[in-house]
Amino acid sequence: MIVAEMDEATGLEKRVSADSCLMRLPRLHGKHLLTIEAPERLLDTGPIREAFLRERASQCGVCSPGMVLSSYIHMKNRLPMSQDEIRRSLSGNLCRCTGYQSILDAVISLDRSPELKAGREEPLDFPQVEKRMHVFVQGDNAYLLPLTLEDLYAARKKYPGARIASGFTGSCVDYKGTVIDISRVRELLQVHVSDSGISIGAGCSFETMKGQMAQHFPYMTPYLDSFASLQVRNQASIGGNIADGSPVGDTMPLCLAHDAVCVVCGPRGTRRIKAGLFTTGYRKVALRSDEVLLAVEFPFPADGTYHFAHKQSRRKNMDISSVSFAASVRVEGKTCSSVRLAYGGMAAVPARALHTERFLKGKVFSRANCQKASACLEKDFSPISDVRGSAAYRMDVAKNMLILLYESYNGEHDGR
Ligand SMILES: Cc1cc2nc3c(=O)[nH]c(=O)nc-3n(C[C@H](O)[C@H](O)[C@H](O)COP(=O)(O)OP(=O)(O)OC[C@H]3O[C@@H](n4cnc5c(N)ncnc54)[C@H](O)[C@@H]3O)c2cc1C
Ligand code: FES
């Protein structure tokens, strides 16, 4: 489905794709929900549907509504018409009948479509929604939409047992109780760039983070693209990923490699916690019961610092990591003067490989030294076996990632 809203910053209508199963109704308050059934004057998918027919891109048709809407968003937001970019927009939709090539061919053929470029749709009429916290009550449960931190603290005081939800992709499907939805809290959505670094609001979606980071840390783009699918990245927040405390959350290794700072806030004030101290145990974080994660600060690195990140999962998209890896290595001359190597999926929490870092520091950054350093990972981690990989597999992958890091530095590998 498509969610349309008025972008306050630009005053323009913004449309993004989203997953209906992860969207509670109150979250759409003041927005428009557009499905494949929407009238053509509001959602003009006619040329796309015709292209799908022409290229035989639909058989059983179960996937077609999602494929058509994802293609529509791709065209509407004028994204590049390369196969890679189209695949990125289509990710999250599974077709088991036609296969993806005919779908890609259909979308590519639209590049020449004059109808689609003509912009025949009528602008949407957005309801005037009062700028205050909205509360929806059903039975014993409520759904609250605070707009400011002050609202949020008041909501928490009134409903101490309520679940904080940001993107709500983590527990939307099975959680039944009262929800404090923080996705509109404006302090959590801010991005600041200063001479010393970039601060990303905890409520920013993965797509927002990807766009912001692309300028400063372009190496992160393919890594962030491997997170779930576009629909989930439009909704899931960086703060939710970190506050979840998962050993396989994709953001924490980046934070550890960059020595990022988690800024947390509550009615008693603001605290700054180094990323390395934020996850305190399996799914446990350093937040007090009345605090939320406000932002994450990524300092700009010293000159000569090389970054790398890679995620290994059973599928390229829509899969949780078996092992994830992020690294910052400062190379002066040929020697590593500073090394930070962070892994997800290797322990109960995302963690740095401290023995391995110590081995590499002060040594020439070479393939041979990375190979020798990889033996130190056995001292750093004792991974477990689970559905995403055996302990031995995880260790092998972790070791190979060190080699990939070197190959990427040496221009032999693009990190994908
Ligand atoms: C289809 C699918 C694919 C996925 N793929 C991936 C993947 O590739 N990689 C990955 O890492 N995860 C993945 N996930 C898991 C999940 O989407 C991510 O962890 C996501 O980043 C969670 O963010 P959210 O904003 O949706 O968090 P929410 O679900 O809103 O919250 C998660 C937890 O954090 C708490 N929380 C949220 N924001 C804050 C805050 N600001 N302060 C304090 N506490 C807070 C909530 O109370 C909750 O306990 C996937 C999920 C789905 C459904
Ligand atoms: S046409 Fe059947 S799943 Fe795609």
The residue whose CA is least distant from atom 16 of ligand 1 is 170
Give the CATH number of domain 305-412; options: 3.40.50.2300, 3.30.390.50, 3.30.360.10, 3.90.420.10.
Answer: 3.30.390.50
* 198 token code pair: 């970039």
> Domain 130-300, what architecture?
2-Layer Sandwich (3.30)
Can you give the pLDDT at residue 120? 77
Give the residue from 182, 177, 181 showing the smallest Cα distance to 141: 177
Q: Which contiguous run of DSSP H or E holds residue 358?
A: helix 354-360
Domain boundary assignment for the chain: 1-129, 130-300, 305-412
Can you give the pLDDT at residue 108? 93
Those residues whose C-beta lies under 8 Å from the C-beta of residue 114, and which sit 6 or more positions away, are none
- 395-399 long-range contacts (CB < 8 A, ≥24 apart) are 397/312, 397/322, 397/323, 398/323, 398/325, 398/343, 398/346, 398/353, 398/374, 399/374
- 325-328 long-range contacts (CB < 8 A, ≥24 apart) are 325/253, 325/398, 325/401, 325/404, 325/405, 326/223, 326/253, 326/254, 326/256, 326/257, 326/258, 327/257, 327/405, 328/257, 328/258, 328/259, 328/301
Report the chain's mean pLDDT, rounded to a whole number.
Answer: 94
93 Cα: distance to centroid of ligand 2 (angstroms): 10
The sign of the dihedral angle between the CA atoms of 313, 319, 320, 325 is positive
* 209 token code pair: 């983070």
169 Cα: distance to centroid of ligand 1 (angstroms): 5
pLDDT tens per residue across span 11-40: 889 999 999 999 999 999 999 999 999 999
pLDDT tens per residue across span 69-124: 999 999 988 899 999 999 999 999 999 998 899 999 999 998 876 666 556 788 89
Task: Looking at the CA of 296, name the nearest ligand.
Answer: 1
91 Cα: distance to centroid of ligand 2 (angstroms): 14
Q: Is the minimum distance from the CB of 58 to ligand 2 under 6 angstroms?
A: yes
Q: Which ligand 1 atom sits closest to the C-alpha of 249? A: 11
Q: Is the minimum distance from the CB of 96 to ligand 2 under 6 angstroms?
A: yes
CATH number of 1-129: 1.10.150.120
**What secondary structure does DSSP assign to 50-99, as a single string?**
HHHHHTT--SS-SSHHHHHHHHHHHHHTT---SHHHHHHHHTT---SSS-
Task: Looking at the CA of 94, name the nearest ligand.
Answer: 2
> Using a 6 Å CB cutoff, which residues line ligand 1?
163-171, 182, 188, 202, 227-228, 232, 236-237, 239-241, 243-244, 249-250, 287, 292-293, 318, 320
Can you give the pLDDT at residue 185? 97
Q: Which of 187, 232, 273, 292 to mutate to test the pocket of ligand 1 (most atoms within 8 A of CB)?
A: 232
Q: Is the minimum distance from the CB of 93 to ligand 2 under 6 angstroms?
A: no
The residue whose CA is least distant from atom 4 of ligand 2 is 95
Phi-psi region of 99 (alpha: psi -120 to 50; beta: other; left: phi over 0): left
Q: How many whole angstroms separate alpha carbon 175 and alpha carbon 358?
A: 44
pLDDT tens per residue across span 282-311: 999 999 999 999 999 999 999 999 999 999
The residue whose CA is least distant from atom 52 of ligand 1 is 169
The residue whose CA is least distant from atom 18 of ligand 1 is 241
Q: Helices 64-76 and 46-54 sit at what angle, rounded to 10 degrees? A: 120
pTM here is: 0.95
The sign of the dihedral angle between the CA atoms of 29, 30, 31, 34 is positive
Task: Sort strands 134-138 and 141-145 into parallel, antiparallel or unpaired.
Answer: antiparallel
Measured from the Cβ of residue 340, the count of other Cβ atoms closer than 10 Å reads: 22
Can you give the pLDDT at residue 9? 79
135: helix, strand or coil: strand
Task: Sort strands 197-201 and 179-181 into parallel, antiparallel or unpaired.
Answer: unpaired
Give the residue from 221, 186, 230, 225 showing the smallest Cα distance to 204: 186
Q: How many whole angstroms separate alpha carbon 248 and alpha carbon 346?
A: 9
Tens digit of each residue's pLDDT, the chain (416 residues): 999 999 877 888 999 999 999 999 999 999 999 999 999 999 999 999 999 999 999 999 999 999 999 999 999 888 999 999 999 999 999 999 988 999 999 999 988 766 665 567 888 999 888 999 999 999 999 999 999 999 999 999 999 999 999 999 998 889 999 999 999 999 999 999 999 999 999 999 999 999 999 999 999 999 999 999 999 999 999 999 999 999 999 999 999 999 999 999 999 999 999 999 999 999 999 999 999 999 999 999 999 999 999 999 988 777 888 999 999 999 999 999 999 999 999 999 999 999 999 999 999 999 999 999 999 999 999 999 999 999 999 999 999 999 999 999 998 876 56
